[in-house]
Amino acid sequence: MAIMQDNDGLVLIVNHFDTKLEGFDYPRQFDILHIGFIQKSRKDVDALYERLSADGWEVQAPRNAHGAWCFYFRAKGGYFIEVTTLTPVRPEEAYRRAPC
């Protein structure tokens, strides 16, 4: 797994593993290439879920997964989308910004 983050909050995670890796548990049906949108809080994830549901999107209910509060859905064109709070990698490295 390679995790890259810039100073503007973009996080790119590239991995090649089965559905489980040291506590990360991705839903099997979504164990494919997907795009994630990190939200500041669980409340923000829930708000996007409610908005998408109200607009007629077929989305799974938010849940705890791989250390974060998240949900997944399939967007137009077949892309899988993850909406999530921050996912800790290791407690001492959980998406910290580099010192200025």
User: d(Cα 49, Cα 61) in Å, to the nearest integer?
Assistant: 7
Would you kindly state where each structural domain of the chain is located, as residue ranges?
34-100
CATH assignment of 34-100, given 3.30.950.10, 3.40.630.10, 3.10.180.10, 3.30.70.260? Answer: 3.10.180.10
Angstrom distance (rounded) from CA 64 to CA 42: 10
One-letter amino acid at 48 equals L
What does the pLDDT read at residue 55? 95
From the CA atom positions of the chain, what is the Rg in Å? 14
List C-alpha distances in Å: 65 to 5, 7, 16, 72, 96: 21, 26, 18, 11, 20
Question: 5 — phi, psi (to 5°)?
Answer: -140, 140
Confidence of residue 26 (pLDDT cuts 50, 70, 90): low
Determine contact, residues 84/27, Cβ cutoff 8 Å.
no
The per-residue pLDDT for range 42-65, each reduced to its tens digit, is 999 999 999 999 999 988 899 988
